[in-house]
Amino acid sequence: MHQPDQTIELTVPDRNLYSVLQQEVDLGVQALGEGNADVAVTLFESALQKLTADQPFYDHLVHNLLLSFKLLIEQLMKAERVSEAARVLHRALDLEVAGEMACDARFRKRFAGVFEGLGLLFFKNRHFRASVLCLRKAMDVCPRPGAHVNLTNSLAAAGERAVLADFTSDITPDELGRHIFIACVPKSASTFLKNLLVNLTGYRDIFMVYAAGQNEHELYLPTLRDAAHLDTVTQQHCRASDANVHMMQGFEIRPVVLVRNVFDSVMSLLDFYNNGAYFTSYFRADFERLDEETKIDLLIDNIIPWYFQFVASWDLVEKRGSLEVMWLTYEDLIRDKPTRIGDVLKFYGLGASLRSVEQKIRETASEERGIRFNKGIAGRGDSGLSDRQKAKIRRLARYYPTTDFSRIGL
């Protein structure tokens, strides 16, 4: 409940008006304090009808009315009168900070906080659609990171798609750039594919994470916002987390999902870590001291489960229709680069002649920053891994009985 300390000069008619208003507000505050939510709503609505948005105290009355609505919704929910609570919520969602407090950040934060509280209330009671509406309203009034956390949870629980306005008000859908996004497992020729697509399209090379190193390559919203209006190519080792999928929905990103035979992946990872990449791991203190068999076991136990999670997560996204996904395998890519690159370009509504694609492949492969195929020969895992180690990898698939792992050689 908020009653501002403010003195204004009033004419005689205004004095009469504000005298009536003061009586209604005092009674409304009393009713709210005593838990008589329906009475408080009636009194604050009556008072609000006597003012316009440009008059003093308008926004404070709106805030008190919102608090009254919140209390009434809480009481109705507790009494399991859900349909009535939903009707009251829609009245609350129509409220706006439209007067003198519209530019007051602290006031808007308090106002948004009431909607956040309602969103959490509806979420707790498993009314996820209502929760989404409340949290979107909170974000519209006063965007803040904490609300993104709750909105992501509500969107996931409701099974709803995210929209651009869930993440930014600075750009509209028609102002979005074109985004090529490669969601990839490590050591899958993703660097080559990304560099080639940058060379072919002229799009900006963007890494949309907060930091690499030991961090998961989750999409980082501030970077995504900054690059939203650009045409970009991005390559990231990211699973289809709810947050990643929602941001892709909002910013209209359709991913190419790049995978590789899991047995060959282990051998390529072993080369990678032996050449110093273990510094980006959490086992960097001891890796160099381990023998080769133990190193392989470490990778199978600690890194390869991520590969299964990666495939399972994107497989589920495709089955649910959450995003349009294009699957691409390392083996198909290195077997026929021009055709597969053409498929990727077609997926994004782009085109290039076979001759230009072949030329860019030669140029990209010769660049110092291009693909490092090192020992990237298909089939290395069959000879490099023991039967015990291969069986250990295969057993991981039993945790995901509905996922198609033929894409990674199982």
pLDDT digits (tens, 9 = 90+) for 259-281: 999 999 999 999 998 998 888 88
Percent of the chain with pLDDT over 90: 79
Domains of the chain, residue spans: 12-162, 173-408
**Vertex 323: Cα angle to 318 and 327 (nearest 5):** 55
In terms of pLDDT, which residue wins out, 377 or 362?
362
**Given a cut of 90, is residue 7 above it in pLDDT?**
no
**pLDDT score of 279:** 83
Run of H or E residues at 15: helix 12-33
Provide the H-helix boundaries in 94-188: 105-124, 128-141, 145-158
Burial of residue 165 (number of CB atoms within 10 Å: 0-12, 13-18, 19+): middle
Which whole number is the average pLDDT over 154-170?
A: 95
**pLDDT score of 123:** 97
b or e along 65-88 (b: 16 or more beta carbons within 10 Å of the residue's beta carbon)? bbbbbbbbbbbbbeeeeeeebbeb
Q: Which residues contact 90 (CB under 8 A, 6 or more apart)?
A: none
| Tens of pLDDT, residues 315-368 | 999 999 999 999 999 999 999 999 999 999 999 999 888 899 999 898 888 874
Which whole number is the average pLDDT over 201-208?
A: 96
Confidence band (pLDDT; 50, 70, 90) for 198? very high
Dist. CA 28–CA 37, nearest whole Å: 9
Which whole number is the average pLDDT over 100-125?
A: 96
Confidence band (pLDDT; 50, 70, 90) for 372? low
**Given a cut of 80, is residue 15 above it in pLDDT?**
no
**Given a cut of 70, is residue 71 above it in pLDDT?**
yes
**Given a cut of 70, is residue 11 above it in pLDDT?**
no
Record: fold of 173-408: Rossmann fold (3.40.50)
Which whole number is the average pLDDT over 129-140?
A: 96
In terms of pLDDT, which residue wins out, 63 or 4?
63
Three-class secondary structure of residue 268 per DSSP: helix
**Given a cut of 70, is residue 8 above it in pLDDT?**
no
Residue 113 is which amino acid? G
Which whole number is the average pLDDT over 369-385?
A: 69
* Nearest C-alpha neighbor of 73 from the set 124, 108, 27, 136: 124
The pair of three-digit structure tokens given for residue 362, joined into one six-digit string: 């030669």
Dist. CA 276–CA 368, nearest whole Å: 18
Record: fold of 12-162: 1.25.40
* Nearest C-alpha neighbor of 383 from the set 297, 267, 290: 267
Which whole number is the average pLDDT over 198-209?
A: 95
Confidence band (pLDDT; 50, 70, 90) for 10? very low
Confidence band (pLDDT; 50, 70, 90) for 9? very low
Beta-strand ranges (E) seen in 109-207 are: 179-184, 204-205
Give this prediction's pTM: 0.89
**pLDDT score of 1:** 44
**pLDDT score of 373:** 53
Which whole number is the average pLDDT over 29-42?
A: 95
Mean pLDDT (the chain) is 91
8 Å CB contact between 219 and 230:
no
Q: Which residues pair with 18 in a beta bridge?
A: none
**Given a cut of 90, is residue 160 above it in pLDDT?**
yes
**pLDDT score of 138:** 96
